[in-house]
Each structure stands twice: as C-alpha cells, then as structure tokens.
Structure 1
Amino acid sequence: MAISDLYTSGKHKQEIGHFANIVKIAKADGEISEGEKELLIRAGKNLNITLEESILILTNPEKYPTNAPASYEDRIERLYRLAKMILVDGEAKLIEVQLMRKIAIRLHFSHDNVEKVCDEAIQLVLNENDLSDFTKAIKLVNKA
C-alpha cells in the first residue's frame, strides 16, 4: 500500500466524520427538511461520500467520530458548513446550536471560546458572508 493510499483513506475518514456531523445537525430537531436534504446531497457530493455511505451515515450518524483536520483553515471551513446547515431553514434552533458547540470543541476550538466562536459563525452565515470573509472573522473572534 502506497503512502498516498493511507492519506486518502485518512482524508476520507475525516470527510465521513464531517458529513456525519452535518447529518447530526440536520436531524437535531427531529426531522430533515427539504432544504436540509438538498444541502446534505450537495455536501455528500463535495465530500466524495458515496450513496451507500450516505445511507449508512443517515441511518446512524453517531457511529462516525469527528476526525478534525490538522489545518486550522479546514477546521474553520467545517464550522462554516455546520453553520450553513443550522441556518438552511432560516433559524438557529437551540438544540442545533448546542450540538454545533460540541462539534466545534471536537474540531479543536477552545472550550473557553467555543460559544463566542459559534455565535459569530451563525451571525456570519446569517449575514451571507462567503467562506473567505467568514474565515477572517472567525480568526479574529477566536484570538480574543
């Protein structure tokens, strides 16, 4: 097995874990809306998740651990995707925000600062900031 094969499978495990986190947020309020389904389909494609993997993850997302990327930029992008899922139906429900905070800690955001970071993430997505502006703002909030 080549070293690149190990990297790919490790990267794929990260993507599966991230997709599972997105599914957890979509299911947090007890149902997956049409908007959430559309976002899940796009996320699955972007993360190279197969249809078979998607079905397994949708059935039991808790089975898949969060595998935080080493890159700070990638972790911020994950936070961005989570915030987009929370707001796909136009509102941030408390149960979804609480779950996002737990996931953010597993993505190695500081426990002491996670509430502030997640609240800012939600506001940034609510205000339709793109990933670049989102990244800059989260870096500023996370330093504070």
Structure 2
Amino acid sequence: MAFLDLYSIGKHKQEIGHFANIVKIAKADGTISDGERALLAKAGERLNITLEEFTIIFNNPEKFPTNSPISYDERIERLFRLSKMVLASGEAKLIEINLLQKIAIRLNFKSDNTEKICKKAIDLVLNNSDLDNFITEIKKLDQE
C-alpha cells in the first residue's frame, strides 16, 4: 500500500470523526431542525461521506472517535464547522454549547480556555464571520 493511500485512509477517518461530532451536536437537543438537516447533508458531501457511511454515523455517532487533525488551522476550521451546527437551528442551546466545549477539548484546545474559545466561536459565526477572520480571531484568543 502506498503512503498516499495510508494518508487518504487516515484523512477519511478524521472526516468520519468530524462528521460524527457534527451529528452529535445536531442530535443533542433531541430534534433535528430543517437547518441542521441541510447542514448535515452539506457537511457529509464536503467530507466525502458516502450515503452508507452517512446512515451508519447518523444512527450511532457515539461509535466514532474524534481524530484531531495535527494542523492548528484545521482544528480551528473544525471548530468553525461545529459552531455553525450549534447555530443551524437558529439558536445556541446550552446542551449544544456544552457538547461543543467537550469536542473542542478533544480537538486539543486548552481546557482552561475552552469555554472562552467556544463563546467567541459562536459569536463569530453568529456575526457571519468568514473562515479566515474566524481563524485569526480564535488564534488571538487562544494565545491569551
């Protein structure tokens, strides 16, 4: 097996874990809104999740671990996507925010700074921040 094949398999595992986290947030409050449903479909497509994988992950997202990317920017991008899901129903519910904080720790954000980072992440998404600005702002906050 070529190195590139191994990288692809590892990368896809990260994407599956990320998609499972997105599903967990969507399901956290017990209902899935139309906005969450649309974001799940878009995320699944962007992450190259097959229809079969989508169904398996959707039915049991807890079976899939968070595989944090090595790249700091990729971890912040994951936080961006997860924050979008928190707000996909139109409001940030406490159960979703708490789950986002747990996932942020698994993405290797400092646990003593996670609450502040997640609050800022949600504020940035709420104010329609683009990904580049989001990354810049989270980096500033994470360096404090």
Q: Same fold (TM over 0.5)?
A: yes
Aligned length: 144
Partner of 2:21: 21
CA-CA distance at 1:117 after TM superposition: 0.3
3-state DSSP class of the match of 1:30? coil
- CA displacement 1:28-67 (0-9 Å, x = unmatched): 0001111101000000000000000000000000000000
Cα distance in 2 between the residues matched to 1:131 and 1:143:
18
Spell out structure 1 runs of 4+ moving beyond 3 A.
none
Cα distance in 1 between the residues matched to 2:68 and 2:21:
11
Counterpart of 1:5, as a letter, is: D
Counterpart of 2:71, as a letter, is: S
Partner of 2:136: 136
Instruction: Confirm whether residue 71 of structure 1 aligns to residue 95 of structure 2.
Output: no
Partner of 1:108: 108
3-state DSSP class of the match of 1:66? coil
CA RMSD of aligned residues (A): 0.4
3-state DSSP class of the match of 1:100? helix
CA-CA distance at 1:89 after TM superposition: 1.6
Unaligned runs of 5+ in 2: none
Counterpart of 2:82, as a letter, is: L
* TM-score (ref. length: structure 1): 0.99
Partner of 1:83: 83
* TM-score (ref. length: structure 2): 0.99
Cα distance in 2 between the residues matched to 1:105 and 1:124:
19
Partner of 1:120: 120
Counterpart of 1:95, as a letter, is: I
Counterpart of 1:32, as a letter, is: I
Counterpart of 1:46, as a letter, is: R
Cα distance in 2 between the residues matched to 1:120 and 1:140:
11
Cα distance in 2 between the residues matched to 1:24 and 1:61:
6
Unaligned runs of 5+ in 1: none
Cα distance in 2 between the residues matched to 1:90 and 1:30:
15
Cα distance in 2 between the residues matched to 1:118 and 1:72:
15
Cα distance in 1 between the residues matched to 2:135 and 2:89:
23
Cα distance in 2 between the residues matched to 1:9 and 1:41:
22
3-state DSSP class of the match of 2:37? helix
- CA displacement 1:44-95 (0-9 Å, x = unmatched): 0000000000000000000000000000000000000000000012211000
Cα distance in 2 between the residues matched to 1:120 and 1:11:
28
Cα distance in 1 between the residues matched to 2:32 and 2:74:
26
Partner of 2:62: 62
